[in-house]
Amino acid sequence: MTDTSTNPQDAAGGGASRASMWLGGGLAVVLLAAIGATGGWLLAGDGEKSPGDPLTAATTTNPPSSRATSARPSTGRATPSAVRTSATPTKGTGLTVPPVIGVEFMQARDMLREHRLGWRLVFGGGAGSTVESAVPAVGTEVARGTTVQLQVTGPAPAAEVPDVVGKDCAKAVDELIDEGLYPRYISGRNGKVARQEPVEDGSARWNDEVSIWCGAGAPEQPSTKPTP
């Protein structure tokens, strides 16, 4: 004989348990659906928010190449500042290179001498004897004693060689320079000139050198007079 329970409470309890299981399962499904919907909204919202992100917009409207191009200064700007720097007076003497351009080179040399400036003549291969450029340039502030290079349009003209034998060495040098010649010291710079080459009225051009022997031990100038 099988013992079968016919307790109404057991039957009712079993029904209630099954009802609770169905109810719990339904709530779980509803909750999962709600969570899934919420997650989907968040994902969708995150996707829609990205285009409006300030960093993204800045990157899109101002690419790095555009910012680099607009931020870097042009390399050509250094040239005007360099020119201004070189033209700025640095000596503070108030002495400037006189207006020698277009002037006959001998007159230009005298102008430099009056300003107590040195000179260096560079002769060209063209025609004429005027100055076409100066270094430092005209108007540049310089110190006394500065040598100014003068570019002459034409070639060096002939120069007259003076007779400096027997003269004090310093005075002989001044006379040679006045004639456009340069002294070449062979035996010192003191005393009287005992010898020179080339001799008086010898062949020479501007900027040529004349050798001079100064002092007591210098060899005497050989006589050019014909022997009887």
> Two tokens at 16?
């209630």
Final residue before a domain boundary, out of 136, 152, 168: 152
Final residue before a domain boundary, out of 126, 152, 178: 152
Query: Is 218 within the bounds of a domain?
Result: yes
More confident residue, 42 or 170: 170
> Both 166 and 107 in a single domain?
no
> Both 144 and 162 in a single domain?
no
Query: Is 208 within the bounds of a domain?
Result: yes
Final residue before a domain boundary, out of 152, 171, 203: 152
Q: What percent of the chain has pLDDT over 90?
A: 51
Q: Determine the pLDDT at residue 120.
A: 96
Query: Is 217 within the bounds of a domain?
Result: yes
Of the listed ranges 47-51, 52-56, 103-107, 123-127, the least confidently predicted one is: 52-56
Query: Is 133 within the bounds of a domain?
Result: yes
Res 186 pLDDT > 80: yes
> Two tokens at 201?
């009225």
Res 82 pLDDT > 70: no
> Both 165 and 124 in a single domain?
no
Of the listed ranges 11-25, 66-80, 204-218, the least confidently predicted one is: 66-80
> Both 210 and 162 in a single domain?
yes
Span 145-170, average pLDDT: 96
Domains of the chain: total:
2
Span 70-78, average pLDDT: 36
Mean pLDDT of the chain: 72
Query: Is 68 within the bounds of a domain?
Result: no
CA distance 216 to 228: 29
Q: What band does 81 get if pLDDT is binned at 50, 70 and 90? A: very low
Highest mean pLDDT among 10-24, 40-54, 197-211: 197-211
Q: Determine the pLDDT at residue 224.
A: 56
Res 87 pLDDT > 80: no
The strand ranges marked E within the chain are 118-123, 131-135, 147-152, 182-185, 193-197, 209-214
Query: Is 20 within the bounds of a domain?
Result: no
> Two tokens at 72?
């870097």
Q: Determine the pLDDT at residue 99.
A: 97
Query: Is 60 within the bounds of a domain?
Result: no
Neighbours of 175 (CB within 10 A): 16
Write out the residue range of the structural domain in which residue 127 sits: 87-152
> Both 189 and 143 in a single domain?
no
pLDDT tens, residue by residue, 104-124? 999 999 999 999 999 999 999
CATH of the domain at 131: 3.30.10.20
> Both 177 and 198 in a single domain?
yes
Span 164-171, average pLDDT: 96
Query: Is 116 within the bounds of a domain?
Result: yes
Q: Determine the pLDDT at residue 6.
A: 45
CA distance 179 to 189: 19
**pTM assigned to the model:** 0.55
CA distance 52 to 56: 7
> Both 165 and 213 in a single domain?
yes
> Both 91 and 122 in a single domain?
yes
List Cα–Cα distances, 89 to 4, 137, 143, 145, 173, in angstroms. Answer: 125, 12, 10, 16, 34
Q: Determine the pLDDT at residue 86.
A: 31
Q: Which of 183, 178, 204, 113 is nearest to 150 (CA)?
A: 113
pLDDT tens, residue by residue, 113-156? 999 999 999 999 999 999 999 999 999 999 999 999 999 999 99
